[in-house]
A and B are shown apart, each in its own frame.
Chain A
Amino acid sequence: MKIEEQPTTVIAVAHLIGRVEQFRKGGFRLVQMNATQVGDEFEINYSFEKDYRFENLRLIIPAETEVPSISGMYWGAFVYENEMHDLFGIAVKGMNIDFNGNFIRTKVRYPFRNPTFQGEGPCQRK
């Protein structure tokens, strides 16, 4: 049994601001933003919720695309946008608080792009 329906709409980068504005006006709150690497492309999910109704917007973009910031509408979005930039190297334009890549300081640049691992293998042989 599904706990809840989670409709996802795939949209183009140009329509992002307009759609987010609609959610903002409709009284939705921002639940989260995240990025996923699928092949050479990135999927960026913007999740919103109102009265336990969960909705999701998705951008599918090539690696070097710049996405506009939604921090003008949702002030708190800067944590997700900075995180996305630091971990995936997705350029976000117009953030209200831009840490310039210093929000999460990591050993390698953009570590989630091509995850690397330390040498040791598994503890158990299978």
Chain B
Amino acid sequence: MKYILGISAFYHDSAAALIRDGEIISAAQEERFTRKKHDSSYPFNAIEFVLNHSKLTLADVSSIVFYEKPFLKFERLLETYVAFAPKGFKSFSRAMPIWLKEKLFQKKLLFDYLKKHDQNFNDEKKILFSEHHLSHAASAFYPSPFKEAIVLTADGVGEWATTTVAIGKDNKLDIKKELHFPHSLGLLYSAFTYYTGFKVNSGEYKLMGLAPYGKPKYVDIILKYLIDLKDDGTFMLNQEYFDYSTGLTMTNKKFDDLFGAKPRKPNLDKISQFHMDIASSIQNVTEQIMLKLVRSLRKEYGISNLCLAGGVALNCVANGKILDEKIYENIWVQPAAGDAGGALGAALAYWHIDLNNKRQNIKEDNMMGSYLGNEFSQNEIQKIFDDIGADYKIYNDEDLISKTATDLSNGKAVGWFQGRMEFGPRALGNRSILADPRSSEMQKNLNIKIKYRESFRPFAPSVLKEDLVSWFEMNIDSPYMLFVANIKKEKILQLSEDEKKKFGLDLLNIKKSIIPAVTHVDYSARIQTVTEKLNKKYFLLLKKFKEITNCPVLVNTSFNIRGEPIVSSPEDAYRCFMGTELDILVVGNCYIEKINQDTNLINNYKNEFELD
């Protein structure tokens, strides 16, 4: 039996993943343990978790694969600085000391860190390096249910590549072509994330959520001045408008002049219609690029399956458009499409490509619903709550589900913590906040009273797979919440003349469908389909809720507050429960009501976390 440990770290979203003879066993992001969002430090806790989960020490692991190649990255940095010199000296003088002191010697650095898990670990040869985009591609292809597929990866930048096309067949994965830095779709999107006042590398999904409030007024300007987009979807960015190659910001003065405004200062400037139009425009351009790319690849290679990974693959609106166009028969997106998933991809790439091992179980999705993280036994949960002093009741599964479904139908917001934690940025029903989507006030209430975040942010629905086609314009499995589709016309409510005239954030106050809490302003929703096979308890909860309300849909948002990593342990869950206006907390078979808790345990901690 061969165990391979995959690691991603030192940029953002550190993570560890463990595979056994090619089978995915466990994976987790470091942020969940350190409670620091997008934590980029060495994933000590995540590695400890994956080892302990399989009762292993490092000696039992045959290879340790890091998700990218630091030498190649260094080469890119040096060549970029040389190409732009003397511009960029400030950035150069900041970057070089870190590289010369630490990053260039990453093998030694990793070796020293690994020794902290096991003093007896002394085999430096076990440490191997994959390429950043190969790791992404492997994370998308090997767990997919396809024997053969086109694999498209797109993100900010890895070593050199920013967009990669690979063909996967059986256990082979060949990279066919790449777009290189500084021409990057991820960095283009991030530039606009920065410009609209959100945090780069984490606020991109806010920009995506903001887009439907605006009009794509600036598409022509973007296509004329910022990007030279070809018919096959390849592109070049005009570096005169960007600062990220050599500077310390994403965009420059010329960029500001082009749009007639300076970047929004998050703490001073409010989000205006201008920012919504900008968001809408860059989202539109991103969709155009992705559609052109996947269309030309379909034509070129004649393969009907598509796999996606890399940060851009988390743009579920663009994914939904690709689906809508019916260019491919099947699409599979890696749920941990960002750098965290690189840990898993690095391990899978080594097992299949370097060791030339056959793929197991090609016909099925092998991500196990992305439920690859830590879990707690009922005894452990009770002990934790006893130690905290929480007041809880214990119910068997049937009563627990019935009680929770009734609470949800009565408008209560529920913290739902079950089984293994999800790997990737989405909560998929094991570390989730759940609510009734039929309530017109729910979106505002959840945003303001529970998540403490901007009121424009949409919420996603979980729906029973068997009811999907009756409620949404979609007919595929979407267990990872990575596709957006519209609500069925029959569920949409007619707008009054007054309501039709509204625009911008005023659209929030309109009841748009019979499930308004999960209907975005453009009638779209980021859908999670739920099946008994992947998540039985959550499936039964949805079933019960449907039995009570005739609605097979629930609001499912990540169990955290703004800027906080998703809860990992029952302690985190209880803390979040007591720091917000959540009504009910369900952890394992423990049922906790807010009104029965000791008020001394209330802990308002929302200011501990920065806005994205």
**A and B interact:** no
